[in-house]
Amino acid sequence: MFKLLPESNPLAPAVTVVVNGRSVAVPQGCSAAAAMLMHGGGSTRTTPVSGEARAPYCMMGLCYECLMEIDGEPNQQGCLVIVREGMHINPQLGKPGVKP
Amino acid sequence: MQTDLAIIGAGPAGLSAAISATAAGLKVVVLDEQPVPGGQIYRNIETLAATRPAHLQWLGPDYAAGLPLLRHFHECAATYLPMAQVWQVGHDGRVYYRRNVANEGAVGIVHARKVLIATGAMERPLPVPGWTLPGVMSCGAAQTLLKASGLAPDGRFVLAGSGPLLLLLAAQLIRAGRPPAAILETSYDFWGALPHLPGMLGLPGYLLKGLGLLREIRAAALPFYRGVTRLEIKGRERAREIEFEVDGRSFIEAVDLVFLHQGVVPNGNLALSTDIRHHWDDLQKCFRPELDAAGRSSSDMVRVAGDAGGIVGAVGAAAMGEVAGLAAAADLGSIDAAEFESRAAAARQLLTRHRAARPFLDRLYRPRQQWVAPTDPDTVICRCEEIRAGDVRHLVAAQNCPGPNQMKSFMRCGMGPCQGRLCGLTAVELIAETRGQTPAEIGYYRIRAPIKPVTLGDMAALDVPSRHDAVNP
Ligand SMILES: Cc1cc2nc3c(=O)[nH]c(=O)nc-3n(C[C@H](O)[C@H](O)[C@H](O)COP(=O)(O)OP(=O)(O)OC[C@H]3O[C@@H](n4cnc5c(N)ncnc54)[C@H](O)[C@@H]3O)c2cc1C
Ligand code: FES
């Protein structure tokens, strides 16, 4: 849904993370939610109430729409977590810990 | 950790307060949940200036103006704790926080003699049918991605809503070579704002800047619809099209993304959770803390500065922070009253000019009633618990529900992880409209710490006193 602008980080190195099981490069210092918006397709979670598809909304820590699974840990606020080399980022489906 | 002044928020208000308070001899700790200082307006400015200076041009001079402020902040003696989410402030001066590093939650307490809340602003929600679909985000989110990571929307997108930030984002994206397919403006009232124009004259540069933005947008020749009366985003698993009405005519645009905005309001949960007195501001259409000119609240411990205390804009926020930092130093006996007066004089004058300019902007983009109290019953208002506008209206009418706190005992509106941040004002407006009362009479959710999710393990690690001891004076 989002793309790097040209000359985006010519001087800053990229970090490799694993989004939905696929290794991808993202700019250093970006959030896990931003990595999802670049490489994760549409939705990043389904709601525990009705199973609706959702995606990050505010990108500043308010709405909790970016709850995702990071390095196996559910319920992480993806827009506030900065990527690290090798980080595994996955959507969160339904209630955390309950696999549909 | 012990300190004289704990400041929550490293935006213009918090940073300026840290600079003035340390200069006046206080020991200061600044906590912020972001990885780098700067707040919303100056987000990531230092890294961006160092790694992709070309983007400074697109983001504009108001953004670049953050660089000297950050340099002063680094030079001052304050201790800075990044990625620290504050979830509780006690009237005993304890500030509870959690470092938000993946898989390594570490909790801590700062013991302060005074606490300054500078948590800034958030965007007022614009609940319209389909706004929960993936592909719909806030304008602030788009701007955050631009500043923090150099990411721009991919595909066809529109900006919808109202307020100066929507126009600023449009101009920034046009300069970046990614113009929106259209701008749909929902609220704008020049004639209503006109009587407030004299207040703007103290800041002629602002008026010119606003006109300059509009000129840039006009020059890009993209469709700009003013006076939109209906908005609906459609799609199954994600946003595919946006339907809207202007002057009784319907339009449809195919979209990959939609960015919504409806002005900004105080990001108030932390201040609200301390139980300091708040009141309804009818021009800004939000609740704000009751403060004196130096940011002191109804609690001796807690102060508020910047947009968290009522929207004043970035320069006004910095001025207010500077005054609040000096006032804390004066209250703690680090400088005397005469010293306070002379050091704070310039910032106070600047703040007065910025406060005087607000009503024009507030009135110009004051959201129309239909956009704060959705008329379509199926519009989701509480994104967390999937409560719809019709559910609230029905409850109020059928059960004579008097306010948002009573509503919580009937339905889970406002009880999800966001703790009412995205539905609070909408719920209040809906209840007020249905009951024929004012939002001031209805009141807001009672917000209780912790205002960010913490685990029982976190609490146990800190030996947290019971809620009552920690929160109430
Ligand atoms: C998304 C967004 C984008 C904006 N962009 C612009 C712009 O480009 N130009 C402009 O003129 N104005 C902009 N504004 C308005 C702008 O926020 C202000 O005028 C200015 O930044 C206010 O400064 P401040 O210091 O009061 O708060 P902010 O700059 O908002 O700083 C508040 C800080 O507090 C931190 N914080 C909040 N809650 C907690 C907590 N519980 N624990 C720890 N830290 C916390 C936040 O991370 C943030 O860094 C924007 C507002 C928003 C919401
Ligand atoms: S996107 Fe809103 S909290 Fe992360």
Is B344 within 8 Å of B323 (Cβ atoms)?
Answer: yes
* Burial letters B196-216, b for 16+ CB under 10 A, else e: beebbeebeebeebbeebeee
- Chain A touched by B71 (CB under 8 Å): no
Residue B40 pLDDT exceeds 70: yes
Question: What are the chain B neighbours of A97 within 8 Å (beta carbons)?
Answer: none
User: Model-level pTM greater than 0.90?
Assistant: yes
Least Cα distance to B271 among B239, B310, B240, B233 occurs for B310
Q: Measured between CA atoms, how close is A96 to chain B, in angstroms?
A: 13
Question: What are the chain A neighbours of B385 within 8 Å (beta carbons)?
Answer: 49
**Ramachandran angles phi, psi of B443, nearest 5°:** 80, 180
Residue B320 pLDDT exceeds 70: yes
Residue of B47, B145, B259, B419 to mutate, testing the A interface (most A Cβ within 10 Å of its Cβ) = B145
Question: What ipTM describes this predicted complex?
Answer: 0.95
B373-442: CATH topology is: Arc Repressor Mutant, subunit A (1.10.10)
DSSP B200: H
Q: Measured between CA atoms, how close is A94 to chain B, in angstroms?
A: 12
Dist. CA B213 → ligand 2 center (Å): 28
Which residue ranges form the domains of chain A, and what is each CATH number? 14-91 (3.10.20.30)
Dist. CA B402 → ligand 1 center (Å): 33
Question: Which residue is listed with tokens 């507030």?
Answer: B362
Is B386's CB within 8 Å of A52's CB? yes
CATH class (in words) of the domain with range B2-122+265-335? alpha beta
Numbered ranges of CATH 3.50.50.60 in chain B: 2-122+265-335, 125-262
Question: What are the chain A neighbours of B44 within 8 Å (beta carbons)?
Answer: 29
Per-residue pLDDT tens for B155-200?
999 999 999 999 999 999 999 999 999 999 999 999 999 999 999 9
- Average pLDDT of B398-420? 90
User: B 420-459 residues with CB below 8 A of A?
Assistant: 421-422, 453
| Strand pairing report for A73-77 and A67-70 | antiparallel
The whole-angstrom separation of Cα A64 and Cα B417 is 6
The whole-angstrom separation of Cα B122 and Cα A65 is 15
Q: Which residue among B19, B40, B259, B454 is best mutated to probe the pocket of ligand 1, counting the most ligand atoms within 8 A of its Cβ?
A: B40
Dist. CA B201 → ligand 2 center (Å): 38
Is A5's CB within 8 Å of B422's CB? no
The whole-angstrom separation of Cα B243 and Cα B231 is 6
For residue A94 the two structure tokens come to 């339904």
Going from the C-alpha of B71 to that of each of A9, B17, B30, B74, B323, the distances in angstroms are: 22, 14, 15, 5, 19
**Ramachandran angles phi, psi of B198, nearest 5°:** -55, -35
CATH class (in words) of the domain with range B125-262? alpha beta
Which atom belonging to ligand 1 lies closest to the Cα atom of B14? 25
Helix (H) or strand (E) holding B144: helix B139-149
**Ramachandran angles phi, psi of A14, nearest 5°:** -90, 160
The whole-angstrom separation of Cα B99 and Cα B93 is 19
Cis status, amide bond into B223, omega within 30 of 0: no
Per-residue pLDDT tens for B79-116?
999 999 999 999 999 999 998 765 566 899 999 999 99
Residue A39 pLDDT exceeds 70: yes
Q: Dump strand ranges (E) for B263-330.
A: 264-266, 278-281, 286-289, 302-304
**Model pLDDT, residue B460:** 81
Question: What are the chain B neighbours of A47 within 8 Å (beta carbons)?
Answer: 386
**Model pLDDT, residue B204:** 85
Per-residue pLDDT tens for A82-99?
999 999 999 998 877 554
Q: Measured between CA atoms, how close is A79 to chain B, in angstroms?
A: 10
